[in-house]
Amino acid sequence: MYNKNRVFAAACIGLFLFGMTLITLGSILPELKSKFETEGLSASMLAAILPVGILLGSLVFGPVVDRYGYKLLLIISVLVSVIALEGLAFSKSVTVLYLCIFFVGFGGGIINGGTSALVADISTENKGASLSLLGVSFGAGALGMPLLLGILSKQFEYPAILSAVGLFMLLPVIYFSLSHFLLPNKLSVFRLQKV
């Protein structure tokens, strides 16, 4: 049996991570441009790849949730984002950089859609308030990260910071693994009962 508060916390943590990764990418863009300037890095291409990844991730989460449930969705999407951040930290080519940015967006799009749907599914009353609190967790991740990056960038290079952010994101994966969520076969029945 799932615990509603733990599941809600898992959704908030997931969206916090999404906010954190989006802001991290924006913050390291100047360093990426200077590192890959000689290899023809296009800032407009970087700006276009991320939203495409988010859009595709937003399209994928629904069928995955219906078939496998939220737990697997959150675990896999955060792991995709972790691998992409580690790839960004250590990439040596522009092609790998573009792929990593796409997968950061893809994992983030899955997290964004999946956490919103999860909160909507578990909220029987005050759904709007619950979704608002979920949005606050995105804002906390998005606002806290520039401060942290500003402090850390005085002592560390961006690859070390990105790598550390990626490794930090593994902690919520452990939390997701230990939490109980709605079972996939019960999701459609649960939605039908609410209608």
pLDDT computed for residue 156 by the predictor: 86
pLDDT computed for residue 170 by the predictor: 93
Q: Which candidate, 91, 71, 105, places its Cα nearest to that of 181?
A: 71
The Cα–Cα gap between 96 and 93 comes to: 5
Is the distance from CB of 175 to CB of 13 less than 8 angstroms? Answer: yes
pLDDT under 50 in the chain at which residues?
Answer: 187-193, 195
| pLDDT tens profile 32-79 | 777 777 677 777 787 789 899 999 999 998 888 888 889 999 999 999
pLDDT computed for residue 195 by the predictor: 45
DSSP states along the chain: ---HHHHHHHHHHHHHHHHHHHHHHHHHHHHHHHHSGGGT--HHHHHHHHHHHHHHHHHHHHHHHHHH-HHHHHHHHHHHHHHHHHHHHH--SHHHHHHHHHHHHHHHHHHHHHHHHHHHHH-SS-HHHHHHHHHHHHHHHHHHHHHHHHHHTTTS-HHHHHHHHHHHTHHHHHHHHHS----HHHHHHHHHHH-
Query: How is domain 4-27+48-194 classified at the architecture level of CATH?
Result: Up-down Bundle (1.20)
pLDDT computed for residue 189 by the predictor: 45
Domain spans of the chain, in order of start = 4-27+48-194
pLDDT computed for residue 119 by the predictor: 92
The pTM of the full predicted model, rounded to 2 decimals, is: 0.86
For 125, the token pair is 């009353």
